[in-house]
Amino acid sequence: MPIIKNGKIVNDTWHHLADDEPASAAPCTVSVARWLREKETLVAHGGALGLRIGGGDRMEEFVGDLDQFPLVVVEFPSMVDGRGFSVARLLRERHGYQGELRARGTFILDQVFYLWRVGFDALEFAPGVALEAALPRLQEFSVRYQAAADEPRPIYRQYAR
Amino acid sequence: MYQYDQYDQRLVDERVAQFRDQTHRFLQGELTEDQFRPLRLMNGLYLQRHAPMLRVAIPYGLLSSRQLRKLADISRRYDKSVAHFTTRQNIQFNWPRLEDVPDILAELATVQMHAIQTSGACIRNVTSDPLAGVCPDEIEDPRPYCEIIRQWSTLHPEFSYLPRKFKIAVSGAAKDRAATQVHDIGLQMVKNDAGETGFEVLVGGGLGRTPIIGQTVRPFLAKADLLSYLEAVLRVYNRFGRRDNKYKARIKILLKETGIEDFTRQVEAEWAHIRGQLVLDTAEIERVKRHFTAPDYQPASAGTLETQATAEPRFDAWLRNNTTAHKIAGYRSVFLSLKPRGVPPGDVTDAQMEAIADLADRYSFGEVRATHTQNLVFADVNQDELLELWQRLATIGLATPNIGKATDMICCPGLDYCSLANASSISVAEDIYSRIDDIDYLHDLGDLRINISGCMNGCAHQSVGHIGILGVDKKGEEWYQLTLGGSSSNDASLGERLGPAVDKASVAEAVETILQTYIELRHDDEPFLDTVRRLGINPFQERVYAHH
Ligand code: SF4
């Protein structure tokens, strides 16, 4: 399935494992609950492993494991559930997560700019969204008042005003 | 006042383009209702009973005459030549067409205005003291900090999809005229023991369904830490605020359920992490402050005003009631009453707006302020010109000497415009008005705040009215619940329920009975609120429900 990654449309090979679905050797992501339950077996399964986080997951339970995951997926169960915006900034700015940080869910084009600003570098839209239309939205605004994951300086340090 | 630089302007222009695209996609069917709703709300656009309603931001209530003329022009071209000032110092148009809204926003952008975040589950337009910078009781002018907060909160990438709306108010004076205790965050400027000015931070106040007075989470916050602390509070709220029930989603509920100690601990822990990363630079504070310098005040002649007042009792009444002390000798701040008889509270016509703009240019350095009580202020009027100004205001119907009195009611649009309303509010205000229209009676009643909301959302802040009136629906009929003893000032408190709701025909009479009871029971010149606090609601209850 195509996703946006690093500003380009690419084909994605990751599989999001349901909690009761057996892990194969292919790259797959698991929920935080499953990760906490089956750490040892999952590490042993051999393939690349990613973590899927929901806005309600307790971060202190998994932040120590972040360097095991080349991919972290933050779920957006609805477009108005904005918890993922905070989760992303915390992962990038506080916990120094450097791998692929992917937003996944029902957000819309008009949120892409914010998603990019808080540190996502990959976007997995719900099926049916024309990804070409999302690309220009990564830079929808040329002015950024706030510091965030993409720009550590608030506006008054970006420019001599 | 603050003037946009190229970055501020560019952002607003880009926002107009974005909303034009969003409206187009919605009208084309590319965005669903559910998708368009949060987007349009974040641009102040409601779809109302009769037509869309557009709420335009007046940051911390400050308007230039040029901006006011533009608003008049918009009301004439896109609306029915009327606009409505709200309880959050904003202005609303009740009849624009959805298709026209992008053009209206483009017009606004030409005078450095916008409708960004005037609604929706995001950080709303910041409000402040309408006498900021001119009142004698000020610790420091709060407007530069309001502007800094405005910029920080505008299109905040992390906090644009909060559990619910989020309102911030800043007050810099000893007397709280910004209702900071009933905001999600209230910032009260204070001095610490070392003599530095900073902010006391209150969190969790709010009106609406579950009115609560805010609590202090930090008694002193240094200016450099302003933005990091706001960010810490917002982050805790965004992550842990309830999203399962919109009536429990405000930060006040999170604070109540978490408890003030735990909540404060969470905020402080978050703040400790980000405090060093997000410092509000002194240079930036100074830059913004340079936009709020004192105008060119001129000395006033001695004695003239007293002579004029003695000669004209109506002027004297207006002077005493509708003007207030200024920090500069020879100047006064003048309130323009938007509460004349027979006009929905807070409404102004296009012609009035233009006339106000002209008067502002002539008498008050071209600036106007909106108050949260739905009136306007000329902040800087030389006392030599007060008589002339009074005469001119009278000719356009804005000199009713009722500021802070019983007919200066705060009233939401209610059933006449608002699709959420249970009951009308404007006609109730008119009924009450007709019973206390006598000027001597009005002034004898003294300071009185009557607030009327058409539903539980409480846009007219009825729970902090000295007399609060709340419209409720009883089997399809309009009924009204009365409360007594509320206040949003320094002595903030929530009104106590008087008893069962009364029907529409009886509300004004009930209010009249309450006022009569007060007159009989007050001590000397004891204000209404003090009498209620001294005696409790019982004597009022007995009289109002005597015949029921
Ligand atoms: S209080 Fe209710 S009726 Fe009045 S404006 Fe607010 S939502 Fe509408």
| B361 and B478 assigned to the same domain | no
Q: Which fold has domain A2-158?
A: TIM Barrel (3.20.20)
| B209 and B142 assigned to the same domain | yes
| B389 and B447 assigned to the same domain | no
Mean pLDDT for A14-38 is 94
Cβ of B412 closer than 6 Å to ligand 1, yes or no, is yes
Position B402 in a domain? no
Q: Which two tokens stand for residue B239?
A: 């992550």
Ligand 1 atom with minimal separation from the B471 CA: 3
**ipTM exceeds 0.95, yes or no:** yes
Using the 3D structure, point to which of B289, B322, B343 is the last residue of a domain.
B289
What pLDDT score was predicted for residue B29?
94
Q: What is the mean pLDDT of chain A?
A: 95
Q: How confident is the model over B29-77, as pLDDT tens digits?
A: 999 999 999 999 999 999 866 678 999 999 999 999 999 999 999 999 9
A53 Cα–ligand 1 center, Å: 38
CB contact under 8 Å between B157 and A118, yes or no, is: yes
Position B197 in a domain? yes
Is B461 in contact with B346 (CB distance < 8 Å)? no
Q: How confident is the model over B218-277, as pLDDT tens digits?
A: 999 999 999 999 999 999 999 999 999 999 999 999 999 999 999 999 999 999 999 999
Domain count across chain B: 4
Residues in chain A: 161
| Structural domain boundaries, residue B147 | 134-289
| B161 and B201 assigned to the same domain | yes
Distance from CA of A156 to the nearest CA of B (A): 6
Helix (H) or strand (E) holding A53: strand A49-53
Using the 3D structure, point to which of B255, B289, B323 is the last residue of a domain.
B289
Domain residue extents for chain A: 2-158
Mean pLDDT for B5-21 is 98
Overall pTM surpassing 0.80 (yes/no): yes
Ligand 1 atom with minimal separation from the B454 CA: 3
Confidence of residue A112 (pLDDT cuts 50, 70, 90): very high
Position B148 in a domain? yes
Q: How confident is the model over B184-217, as pLDDT tens digits?
A: 999 999 999 999 999 999 999 998 888 999 999 9
Q: How confident is the model over A40-93, as pLDDT tens digits?
A: 999 888 789 999 999 999 999 999 999 999 999 999 999 999 999 999 999 999
Position B123 in a domain? no
Using the 3D structure, point to which of B395, B430, B445 is the last residue of a domain.
B395
Task: State yes or no: pLDDT of A25 exceeds 90.
Answer: no
Mean pLDDT for B340-347 is 93
Distance from CA of B288 to the nearest CA of A (A): 10
Mean pLDDT for B474-492 is 94
Q: How confident is the model over B353-406, as pLDDT tens digits?
A: 999 999 999 999 999 999 999 999 999 999 999 999 999 999 999 999 999 999
Confidence of residue B83 (pLDDT cuts 50, 70, 90): very high
| B169 and B257 assigned to the same domain | yes
| B72 and B143 assigned to the same domain | no
User: Which CATH number characterizes residue B430's domain?
Assistant: 3.30.413.10
Cβ of B457 closer than 6 Å to ligand 1, yes or no, is yes
Position B262 in a domain? yes
Nearest-by-CA chain A residue for B22: A110
- Counting residues of chain B whose pLDDT is more than 70, the rounded percentage is 99
CB contact under 8 Å between A143 and B121, yes or no, is: no
Highest mean pLDDT among A10-24, B83-97, B147-161, B436-450: B147-161
CB contact under 8 Å between B161 and A80, yes or no, is: yes
CB contact under 8 Å between A143 and B157, yes or no, is: no
What pLDDT score was predicted for residue B548?
61
What pLDDT score was predicted for residue B50?
67
Q: What is the mean pLDDT of chain B?
A: 96
Position B382 in a domain? yes
HEC assignment per residue over B320-368:
HHHEEECCCCCEEEEEECCCCCCCCCCEEEHHHHHHHHHHHHHHCCCEE
Position B200 in a domain? yes
Which of A75, A76, A83 should be substituted to probe chain B, the one whose Cβ sees the most B Cβ atoms within 10 Å?
Answer: A83
Q: In DSSP terms, which residues pair with B185 in a beta bridge?
A: B168, B203
CB pairs under 8 A between A and B: 92
What value, to the nearest 5°, has the Cα angle with vertex B119 and ends B113 and B123? 85
B481 C-beta neighbours (distance < 10 Å), count: 21
| B58 and B23 assigned to the same domain | yes
Cβ of B454 closer than 6 Å to ligand 1, yes or no, is yes
| B373 and B435 assigned to the same domain | no
Position B212 in a domain? yes
Ligand 1 atom with minimal separation from the B418 CA: 8
What pLDDT score was predicted for residue A24?
81
* Among the partner residues A83, A113, A161, nearest to B287 by beta-carbon distance: A161
What pLDDT score was predicted for residue B203?
98
Tell me the pairing of strands B502-503 and A28-31. unpaired
CA distances from A48 to A72, A98, A120, B221, B384 (A): 12, 16, 20, 47, 81
